[in-house]
Amino acid sequence: MKLTVITPDKLAYEGEATAVTVPGAAGSFQILKDHAAIVSTLEDGKVIIKINNNEERTIIIKGGVVEAKDNNIVILAEGITEK
């Protein structure tokens, strides 16, 4: 899947991911390959990007929106603190 994480002032992440966990408004949820199309608001919290079996990256966001469609995931975050 292709993942893009954007803030108002920069591109925070762009690349492939095998799984993405996001802090949804109703609780955290995970997006995997061939996930149904979804748009959701996001709360402050961790975006966990699984890149492959051995590599994981965490980005702390300050709210935003996620859209997943056709194995393309776009996260529009109000701000980030990379961990």
- CATH number for the domain that contains residue 20: 2.60.15.10
* Residue in 25, 26, 27, 4 with CA at minimum distance from that of residue 16: 4
What is the domain count for the chain? 1
CA angle 58/63/65 to nearest 5° reads 95
Structural domain range at position 40: 2-82
Least confident segment among 23-27, 37-41, 42-46: 23-27
Which positions ≥6 away from 10 have C-beta within 8 Å? none
pLDDT of 83 > 80? The answer is no
Percent of residues, the chain, with pLDDT higher than 70: 98
User: How does the average pLDDT of the chain come out, rounded?
Assistant: 94
